Structure 1
Amino acid sequence: MCFQKMSKPRIWVTRRLSDATLERAARDYEVVINYEDRPGTAEEIIAASAAFDGIIPCHSEHFSAEVVAQFSDRLKIVANHSVGVDHCDLPALKSRGIVVTNTPDVLSDATAELAMLLMLGAARHAVAGDRIVRSGAWDSWSPAFMVGKQVTGARLGIIGMGRVGRAFAAKARGFDMELHYFNRSPLAEELTQGAVYHDTVESLLGVSDFLSLHCPATPETNGLMSAERFALMPAGAVFVNTARGALVDEAALIGALDSGQLSAAGLDCFQVEPGGNPAFSRFDNIFMLPHIGSATGQTRDAMGFRALDNLDAFFAGKAPGDQL
């Protein structure tokens, strides 16, 4: 790729991205790659603003207003390797004239697959069953043994009918689930394919034998699932979150599981990451994974290439396709 005999833009890649992504980045840019693969600190991000023309960060790097206020004038673009941008203070970055992009579309199926895994695993006692077999404790059988909750034909509520929510709905149709959704506004029939729209979260919760979150974390959605809202769900419902940990009051979730209001939960996101919530470890009916919704080789390549596509457009003097 040619930049009209100018020196190549200098880019900081903050994490160990896929090999294909790093090879392409090194071909087209002067790159510095964090092979240690640890989150960039506030001090490193501030220093990078004076040393680089662009940054490819992940959600592990935080561009708060306080950090952005200390930026140099050199940095021109933050090309996120993520869909969510809750780690970026968008108004602060915009005020400094810094373009921000993300990587939509390409991780929808991978995340939806993981949501289905969590839903099925939570409903059918995957954690307890694996432990019993793995520990050698499986020494009997009974018609009452490990009885779970059937997914096929059940009512599924989806909060957030964006790309991932719609991909999850498409997969749930294969289980003949009755689909319901809440979104900021109703979607066209060709997008929802018969899913029933609810104009309030509360209305949706009342019919959700299974509930899956697919909305972004914003000031309006933080703490979305509270004790009051868990109480509105049918007794014995199953809850799934592959979106963001900030959407859930974790103490309220524990209370709903302790009371039996929820029979199980499947979680890929937590309020504290990495690490999760140690209080969840006493529950065999919580199926947990360490925020790996988009972690397939195909998706990681696609995310990296999408971030690079945005950089390419920007440095070619064009508007990036995923500019926020």
Structure 2
Amino acid sequence: MRPKIYITRKLPEQIIEGLRGNFDIRMWDEEEIPVPREVLEEEVKEVDGLLCLLTEQIDESLINRAVNLKIIANMAVGHNNIDVHSATERGIMVTNTPGVLTETTADLTFGLLLATARRMMEAADYLKSGKWETWSPMQLTGQDVHGATLGIIGLGRIGEALAKRAKGFDMNLVYFNRSRKYEQEKELGIDYLPIEKLLQVSDFVCILLPLTPDTAYMIGKEQLKLMKRTSVLINTARGGIIDEKALYQALKDRDIWAAGLDVFEEEPVSVDHPLLTLPNVVTLPHIGSASIATRMKMAALAVQNLADGLAGDTPRNLVLLNKT
């Protein structure tokens, strides 16, 4: 009997065609709608492999329903949607898709920084609504990016790629990371600072950390108070790292100048979320890796991880407990 696989979202045929010769495949046949929890609970019972997205919560309850499950392949870098501890205790491998989305996410992060700093979305709406009647000296003025200080919280692959882009704008670079990266400091011309000092000196702060128990609500009321009133906060990592209630209040009170957000604590974010009501917030629907080429690479890597694990090989991107 061939191993069984369940895929939680419709993927392009060219991505999964290589699996068909060796595995029995079932797949949720919707691209825009996540698989309902009750469907996933039934499908997971007898499968050997599961390919999932961030939209699925692969918690202990779901894992305990899976009698034959050997591998969970997440089509994402982050894996906070998976109870890795429970999976590991059951001998179930967990994989992710790092590396392939680094440059694309760095592009989006810097683009969001520019759009927020220069009020691009607000200006576009201003034009489309017929408000542009004349030129005036301080109309829709924003913050300069060139020559400003960029603070990167989380100098991983994406953080390094972002730093390279910022150098092209002659930005001054500082970073905070759980451990110092001396080689990158020399290569990128970036200085290490404790997070409190970074928040105080930076004109732009970019969050590029995974969401873990240690980073949850890492940026809250006290941290936001350290920032300049002219500063901009960008998050393309994970919602939940920033306390959204505290951020809303800081933006409303103009304690910081603006924010650019590609991620939220609950996704999809409600259209009546308070942050969406503020003019000094640019919001995006979690599109950090959303280029055609990158999403295809992510899917292909998730499929390869799945196939390797079910073939008895160690997948290239195995998530270990000490990395969660």
Fold agreement, TM-score > 0.5: yes
Counterpart CA distance in 1 for 2:13 and 2:113 is 31
Q: CA deviation at 1:190?
A: 4.1
Give the deviation of 1:27 after TM superposition. Answer: 5.1
Residue aligned with 2:76, SS: coil
1:313 equivalenced with 2:308 (yes/no): yes
Match of 1:260 among 230, 242, 254: 254
The correspondence of residues 41-190 of structure 1 with structure 2, limited to 5 A, is: 41-69=36-64, 71-190=65-184
How far apart are 1:202 and its partner, in Å? 1.0
Q: Is the Cα contact below 8 Å between 2:163 and 2:188 reproduced in 1?
A: no
Identify the range of structure 1 (232-241 vs 310-319) with the bigger mean alpha-carbon deviation: 310-319
85-94 vs 313-322, which moves further? 313-322
Aligned 1:271-290 pairs, distance under 5 A: 271-276=265-270, 278-290=273-285
- C-alpha deviations, 1:252-297, integer Å up to 9, x for none? 1111112222111110001121124621232222111101111111
Aligned counterparts of 1:97 and 1:77: Cα–Cα separation in 2: 9
Whole-Å separation in 2 of the counterparts to 1:153 and 1:25: 50
Q: C-alpha separation between the residues in 1 aligned to 2:21 and 2:292?
A: 21
Give, in angstroms, the shift of residue 46 of structure 1: 2.9
User: Size of the alignment, in residue pairs?
Assistant: 316
Using the alignment, how far apart are the partners of 1:299 and 1:228 within structure 2? 37
Amino acid at match of 2:172: E
Q: What displacement does 1:48 show?
A: 2.5
Q: Does 1:208 align with 2:208?
A: no
Q: Check whether the contact 2:71–2:310 (CA below 8 A) recurs between aligned residues.
A: no
Q: CA, structure 1 residues 41+156, in 2 after alignment: closer, same or farther (shift >3 Å)? A: same
Taking structure 2 as the reference length, the TM-score comes to 0.93
Q: What is the alpha-carbon distance in structure 2 between the residues aligned to residue 213 and residue 296 of structure 1?
A: 21
Mapped pair 1:195 → 2:183: no
Q: Which runs of 5+ in 1 are unaligned?
A: 1-6
Match of 2:322 in 1: none
After superposition, the Cα gap between the structure-2 partners of 1:281 and 1:59, relative to the gap in structure 1 and judged at 3 Å, is same
Query: Structure 1 residue 28: deviation in Å?
Result: 4.9
Contact 1:226 1:248 in 2 (8 A): yes
Q: Cα offset for 1:230?
A: 0.7
- Asked if residue 22 in structure 1 is aligned to residue 16 in structure 2, the reply is yes
Q: State which drifts further: 74-83 or 182-191.
A: 182-191
Aligned-partner SS, 2:240: helix
1:76 is displaced (CA, Å) by 0.8
C-alpha distance in 2, partners of 1:170/1:261?
29
Which amino acid is 1:10 matched to? K
Instruction: Measure, in 2, the Cα distance between the counterparts of 1:207 and 1:11.
Output: 50
By how many angstroms is 1:188 displaced?
3.4
Unaligned runs of 5+ in 2: 320-324
- Say which SS state the counterpart of residue 206 (structure 1) adopts: helix
SS in structure 1 at match of 2:257: strand
1: CA distance, partners of 2:46 / 2:311: 20
Q: CA distance change for structure 1 residues 8 and 115 in 2, over 3 Å: closer, same or farther?
A: same
Q: Distance in 2 between matches of 1:169 and 1:27?
A: 44
CA distance in 1, matches of 2:49, 2:311: 13
Change (3 A) 1:249 1:28: same
